[in-house]
Amino acid sequence: MLETFETVAKAVADPSRVRILKLLEGGELCVCQITTVLELAPATVSKHLAALKTAGLLQQRREGKWVYYRLAERELNPYAPPFLALVGALLADDPTTVEDRRVLALVNAVPLPVLCDQGRAALAPNAQASDASPCCGGPS
């Protein structure tokens, strides 16, 4: 049991992973949405998502080329729900997570194919829609 606890504790010990958990409190997000808000490389975000999923904190689903993550709805790890509750309660007014929510609102206004193609540049006032074929993935 201690190893199970340790897996969750280590997963939430990273600030970027906590930010991901806070973003997902509002519902399911695509990897490119998370990447855009956090301003991290897709590979870095994928590693964080994999650690959170391994710890039983997240679930994923694939839809075409997009991979979506959400907070775990089933108890995959008995320690996950208390950790999620703690993160949710203690960091509700944290300036970083408040700013992440503000940026997420901008991100959610951009069509997913455009966002996955252009990333943070799609949030610029003069951003143009692209016909490029984006790929938005995460750990399987």
Tens digits of per-residue pLDDT, 83-122? Answer: 999 998 999 899 999 999 999 999 999 999 999 899 889 9
All residues at 6 or more sequence positions from 137 whose CB lies less than 8 Å from its CB, including other chains: 31, 42, 46, 65, 66, 67
Which segment of 29-38, 57-66, 116-125 scores lowest on mean pLDDT?
116-125
Average pLDDT estimate for 21-35: 96
> How far, rounded to the nearest angstrom, does the alpha carbon of residue 54 sit from its chain's CA centroid?
14
Task: Name the pLDDT band for 138 (thresholds 50, 70, 90).
Answer: low
What mean pLDDT value characterizes the chain?
87
> At the top level of CATH, which class does the domain 2-123 belong to?
mainly alpha
Q: How far apart are CA 59 and CA 49, in angstroms?
A: 9
